[in-house]
Amino acid sequence: MKVAMGQFAVSREWQENTDICIDLMNKSLAGGADLLVLPEGVLARDIADPDLVLKAAQPLDGPFVTQLLAVSKGNDLTTMMSVHVPTEGNKALNVLIAIRNGEIIAAYEKLHLYDAFAMQESQRVNPGNDVPALVDVAGMKVGLMTCYDVRFPELARRLVLDGADVLVLPAAWVKGPLKEMHWELLCSARALENTCYMVAVGECGPRNIGNSLVIDPLGVAIAKAPESAALVFADLDPQRIAYARSVLPVLENRRFARPELKPL
């Protein structure tokens, strides 16, 4: 599988973000990618206006997603990103969507909300309640996670035990003391402990670190983006997964049961 990581700074204007996403889709398709991963919350964002995620939220049949679906028609590129969708209680859902050939083929509502480091995502967002199904892309099975989810190893392990070869993580990782170290350490750990690929794509800009990366099943970073806007490609090899699992059979050697989601 050839994957593209489309890293950019999200604007407060949804149409501007639409244009950026469409451009990245077209460039990824031209570059031969099977999968394009974009950051978390790509609909709209403003550091000075945290309520913008609510004011700008759109349903999945709204103009933002509709335009991306139109661009996706007629080809096999799968594009993944997270958007904010209105829901009850004057809040939103943080929904990771996968689109391909004019359709939404998967939607995952973020389970773990970022109530940490003096931030409170749950003030504006409701959590999801379901472990996402896997998505088939170019013969590999992809598990869906969003940003803060990476700090909870149970979800990654559950997805891999369900059959995931690749974990995808759109994110908006906020800058701060040790935060870049946390990002690289956690993404590497989730890949290595599960002998799978991790494709983690972060927003860049004044608030977020960027630093998108692909980690292979033995914890090796095979592609990295800088702190600025970038489109980075990487090849994911099923034989590398098979090799990693033959020399490091942690999935076979584990003694704990398959993780189950705890109801709220």
What residue type is assigned to position 218 of the chain? L
Q: How many CB atoms lie within 10 A of CB 75?
A: 12
Q: What's the token pair of residue 119?
A: 């931030």
Question: Residue 241, class by beta-carbon neighbours within 10 Å (0-12 exposed, 13-18 middle, 19+ buried)?
Answer: buried
Would you call 110 a catalytic residue per the annotation?
A: yes
Query: Of these residues, 147, 187, 196, 204, which one is catalytic?
Result: 147
The phi, psi pair for 20, rounded to 5°, reads -65, -45
Q: How many CB atoms lie within 10 A of CB 85?
A: 20
C-alpha–C-alpha distance, residues 181 and 112, integer Å: 20
What residue type is assigned to position 159 of the chain? L
Would you call 55 a catalytic residue per the annotation?
A: no
Yes or no: say if 8 and 204 are a contact pair by the CB < 8 Å rule: yes
Length of the chain equals 264
Q: How many CB atoms lie within 10 A of CB 136?
A: 13
Query: Of these residues, 21, 40, 196, 203, which one is catalytic?
Result: 40
Would you call 40 a catalytic residue per the annotation?
A: yes
Query: Of these residues, 109, 110, 187, 203, which one is catalytic?
Result: 110
Residue holding tokens 């149409």?
Answer: 15
Instruction: Give, for 224, the enclosing helix (H) or strand (E).
Output: strand 221-224
Catalytic residues: 40, 110, 147
